[in-house]
Structure 1
Amino acid sequence: MTGQETLPYHYVAQDINHWYVVIKQGNVHKAKELKKKVESEFANMEKNEDIAVYIQLLELRHQLMLSYLEPDSVDSIEDAYKYVERSKRNIAPEYLTDIIEFYYHFFFGMYHFRTKDLVVALTYYREAEKYLDLINDKDETNKAEFYFKVSEVYYYMKETHFSMNYAQRAYSIFKEQKDNDGNLTYGKQMVQCQFVISGNWLDKMCYEEALHHATKAYEDAKKIKENHLIGSAHFNIGICYNQLEELDKAEYHFQRSYDIHRQRSHIYESKAIFNLAYVKAKKNELKETEALYNEGLLVAKRHNNKEIIEKLKLIKGLYLSYDLNVVREAFKFFDDKNMYADMEEYAVAVAELLNNKKEVNDAVEFYRTAIEARRQIQRGSHLDEK
């Protein structure tokens, strides 16, 4: 095929759709191959505004996939986001089809979820859902992926009922997807759904049930031989044991999670090392805590993980320098980002620690912070913002 040939848009559309399928499946190698192929074909394609916008949106989705699975290969998510944002403003209304509107709001929601702007993410997801049933699409995995992403943001907002519902709807679709040999084609996504379900059981304080689902996710991740999912499964099991106050077991699984994610410089290594340091601090192993704190700060800065940078202040302010103003900085971040669940969880932990030290006035301050966070969650006021 020569560079002078003009390709019909429907020919390119087939490869674009295939590109999106492998993105959803988390197949990084194949997604990169198809991205190059589509870009080459688009350069020789007859003009079509729908395809042009679709490619821009998938470029953003591609970068979001890489940010989780292969963060070192990410070009610039922010540039891709801003480019789509500018382009959409210049698109004539007749080109804004239901499918374009759905992907625009869906992918923008994913972008803001990644930056922990949960209210903004949910606002975009709500807009995307308006178009979901309008799309003439036989591929049920589009709905499944959407349901899963919505379950994630509701999980972070501690809207347990909604999160469980969406995660289970996604799981029921993913488990039906098989190739011609009967092998699951969305095994990774099934594991991720189990992660969310396990997390919701934790929020309901059903720790044994949460551990059951986290362990099942670990076993399934081993079957499909996905290291980053195995690392995440270790992390989730560690969370369960931490809640059960079995700190030695929690430390073991956080260490395993960190070791796995560190090998690939995965973005989740920041979360793993923070929790490992936090458990060490709770065990009063302060020399090891300080070393992990310093290492964790470097890791979080390398990944530009602002959430972990702020959470590390809890360890510094409570266990290393004992400066409650540093701790308050972390809570301001939680408040600014509407992270009321984290605010409640850590405020209770801080208050109990201070109470044990007989520092009653400071303990009351953080108990009040926890109560206010709980009120925000129950009121759901953060879900009604526009």
Structure 2
Amino acid sequence: MAVKIPSASVGVKINDWYNAIRKFNVTDAEMLKAEIERDIFRMEEDQDLLLYYALMEFRHRIMLDYIRPLEEEKVPPDFSEILKDIEDKQGKLTGLLEYYFNFFRGMYEYNNHDYIKAISFYRRAEKKLRHVEDEIERAEFHFKMAEIFYHMKQSHVSMNYALQAIETYQAHETYKVRRIQCEFVIAGNYDDLESSEKALPHLENALKLVREESQRILEGHTFYNLGNCYYKMGKADQAAEYFHKAVVIYKEETSDTLTKACFSLALAYFKLKQNEQAHDIFNEGFKIAQQSNDAIYISKYHFLQALYINEDGMDSLSETFQLLESRKMYPDIEDLALEAAEYYNEIGLLSDSVYFYQIVFNARKQIKKGDWSYEV
């Protein structure tokens, strides 16, 4: 009779697997995953450990979705089966496992642009944070909270979480990718607080760290964030240069961030009245959004089309705002409405401009209230 492997020894390997995932060390993570999968079949029965394994497999797929962009012709990974398997067992989750479920599910919803659901799951995870003793795991949680609140323009809340996270990561040399991502979030918050001159040093530091890591996709993200920073400063020409650099890298890496980068580059070109380049990159990005069935970006490209290409007027523009409002994406509403308001002001359609400035004002009121970001 074959000797069963103690579940505790498999549990140690799963911990090592998770450490590799958090460091974005794909090679080690894949190797440990394969080893654990072999051990599971020879392990003594332990339902809690099998749940831990299922949760970590879910987290592993989220990592791969971020670090390994899709190859051409491949469809995005289907998380539905693994999610259903975990949710069927959710009643058995307690303590640390319950924390992991809600934390990882929040990451999944964030990646799907459903920020309200993401915050809801993160808040549930936060209630279980007392079960987490590892300082790196606490830093992971703080980073993810910083990231989501940055996207919802809750800048001071985001900055507080980001500073907690980066303090821990700076003490651990092997977590350089997360340090870089923290610099992105801190810089983005300074942009939203209209202090872009404070954002630039963080992005320059991120670029230095990225080049030490030789991670091409992260270099693309840094260029994109630099473009965003210069755009917020009103320097559309410099923004376009960095957005273009990001687009080049995202094409090389077949990154799903290409849709967003093409949108930002097209917007910068329209702002600069470089209409031929704007049309070319618009068509490219719009096609990618349609191929990936990205409802949010399809709607945003329709917005650009209505504003700058077809000049369809407010009815067409309003359709984008209706979709964004249904998702409570008030920061996106604010940004797009401001683009429309400034454009109509520039061409002398003052009543239309005032209409969109009112949308900006209403969106900012919702962001300032922040009630929607605490729903559980």
After TM superposition, the score normalised by the length of structure 2 is 0.94
Question: Which has the larger displacement, 296-305 or 116-125?
Answer: 296-305
Letter of the 1:41 counterpart:
D
What's the RMSD between the two structures over aligned residues? Answer: 1.7
Output aligned runs, 1:276-295, within 5 Å.
276-295=265-284
**Matched residue of 1:185: which SS?**
helix
1:168 aligns with 2:163: yes
Partners in 2 of 1:203 and 1:195 — Cα distance?
12
Quick check: 1:76 aligned with 2:78? yes
Answer 1 or 2: higher relative contact order, Cα 8 Å, separation at least 6. Answer: 2
User: For the residues of structure 1 that align with 2:252 and 2:130, how far apart are their CA atoms?
Assistant: 42
Q: Equivalent residue for 1:296?
A: 285
Distance of 2:47 and 2:366 partners within structure 1: 43
Work out whether residues 316 and 326 of structure 1, in 8 Å CA contact, stay in contact via their aligned partners in 2.
no
Of 14, 17, 20, the match for 2:15: 17
Q: Structure 2 residue aligned with 1:149, among 129, 144, 152?
A: 144
Q: Displacement of 1:307 after TM fit?
A: 2.9
Determine if the alignment matches structure 1 residue 381 to structure 2 residue 376.
no
Q: CA 1:68–1:302 in 2, change beyond 3 Å: closer, same or farther? A: farther
Shift of 1:377: 0.8
- Select 2:98's aligned residue among 98, 101, 104: 101
Tell me, in whole angstroms, the C-alpha distance in 2 between the residues paired with 1:115 and 1:19.
25
Whole-angstrom CA distance in 2 between matches of 1:341 and 1:217: 24
Structure 2 counterpart of 1:117: 114
Deviation (angstroms), 1:54: 0.9
- Worse overlay, 118-127 or 188-197: 118-127
**1:250, CA displacement in angstroms?**
1.0
CA-CA distance at 1:304 after TM superposition: 4.1
Q: CA deviation at 1:365?
A: 2.3
Instruction: Select between 118-127 and 28-37 the one with higher mean Cα deviation.
Output: 28-37
Deviation at 1:100, TM superposition (A): 0.5
Name the SS for the 2:131 alignment partner.
coil
Contact 1:67-1:267 at 8 Å conserved across structures: no
Change (3 A) 1:28 1:305: farther
1:260 match:
249
Indicate how the Cα distance of structure 1 residues 302 and 8 shifts in structure 2: closer, same or farther if over 3 A, else same.
farther
Local SS of the residue matching 2:328: coil
Distance 1:7 1:329 in 2: 58
Cα 1:312–1:98, aligned 2, differ >3 Å: closer, same or farther?
A: same
Corresponding residue of 2:125: 128
Task: Find the partner of 1:215 among 204, 221, 246.
Answer: 204
- Structure 2 counterpart of 1:271: 260
Q: In the aligned structure 1, how far is the partner of 2:280 from the partner of 2:3?
A: 60
Structure 1, unmatched stretches of 5+, are 178-183
- Count of residues in Structure 1 that have an aligned counterpart in Structure 2: 371
Contact 2:70 2:256 in 1 (8 A): no
Whether contact under 8 Å (2:119, 2:374) holds in the other structure is no
Which residue in 2 is equivalent to 1:180?
Answer: none
Q: Is the 8 A contact 2:334 2:359 kept in 1?
A: yes
Partner residue of 1:233?
222
Given the alignment of the two structures, is residue 355 of structure 1 paired with residue 350 of structure 2, yes or no?
Answer: no
SS at match of 2:100: helix
Contact 2:139 2:164 in 1 (8 A): yes
Query: Matched residue of 1:133: which SS?
Result: helix
Distance 1:166 1:269 in 2: 28
- C-alpha distance in structure 2 between counterparts of 1:227 and 1:165, whole Å: 29
Query: In terms of mean alpha carbon deviation, does 70-79 or 143-152 score higher?
Result: 70-79
Letter in 1 for 2:234: E
Indicate conservation of the 8 Å contact 1:237/1:250, yes or no. Answer: yes
Identify the match of residue 343 of structure 1 among 314, 322, 333. 333
Is the Cα contact below 8 Å between 2:150 and 2:158 reproduced in 1?
yes
- Residue 369 of structure 1 aligns with an amino acid whose one-letter code is I
Taking the aligned partners of 2:290 and 2:111, their CA distance within structure 1 comes to: 16
Q: Secondary structure at the match of 1:253?
A: helix
| Equivalent of 1:317 in 289, 306, 329 | 306
Provide closer, same or farther for how the CA distance between residues 50 and 333 of structure 1 changes in structure 2, counting only shifts above 3 A.
Answer: same
Report the more deviating stretch, 65-74 or 219-228.
65-74
- In structure 1, distance between residues paired with 2:69 and 2:298: 18
Taking the aligned partners of 1:116 and 1:75, their CA distance within structure 2 comes to: 16
